[in-house]
Amino acid sequence: MQRLIFAIDQVNKTIGHAFAWCIIILTFGTCYEVFVRYVLDDPTSWAFDLSYLMYGAVFFMAGAYTLSRGGHVRADMFYRKWSERTQARVELVLYVIFFFPGILALVVAGWGYGTESLRLREVSVNSPAGMPIWPLKMMIPVGASLMALQGLAELLRCVQCLRDGQWAPRMHDVEELENQILAEAARKREAEGAAA
């Protein structure tokens, strides 16, 4: 079971990291637009389209990666006080009742929406550049399918926790800078305390 969870996490990590590069493209595109608009007084016709295409791609394709790292927003004022087995029971029920029906509806509806856009070779009507937006719309069912796959991994994590009494460790490949700074400060305090 752990190998399947790890494999699903690895797939979503790879896709999440690949689409994270959209942020770099978005940043350069936005900076270029600001420069030519305000310094050269010659705005582009494609910058707005680029911004929502890149942001949309990150939004759709990195959701499963974020779920695999436990990074989605959670109101856990009660949850964190429960035992790990109780947490797993509640999560298992919530995944079955809310998560999977919603995600599967998004896959089905998104497939119709995306394929229709692909069939029409839909382009943006918001700017004169007419950038193709059908690739973004096709990401809806693909991203939702990745979320469903990651949801399966989360369901298996719940089953493991119910069996073992504790949550299995998650893959960690990035860390908040704040956590790194706090860890470094704690190491310095320990070193100073040991030297004294």
pLDDT tens for each residue of 150-177? 999 999 999 999 999 888 888 777 666 7
* pTM given for the model: 0.80
Q: Which residues are CB-contacts of 38 (< 8 A; sequence separation ≥ 6)?
A: none
Nearest to 151 by CA among 114, 106, 115: 106
pLDDT of the residue at 174 = 67
**The pLDDT value given to residue 69:** 86
- pLDDT value of position 75: 77
Mean pLDDT value across residues 56-60: 88
Helices (H), the chain: 2-38, 47-61, 63-68, 84-94, 100-120, 134-164, 177-195
CA–CA gap between residue 149 and residue 142 (Å, rounded): 11
β-partners of residue 123 are 132
Q: Residue 20's closest CA among 64, 57, 70, 51?
A: 57
Question: CA 1 to CA 175: how far, in whole Å?
Answer: 26
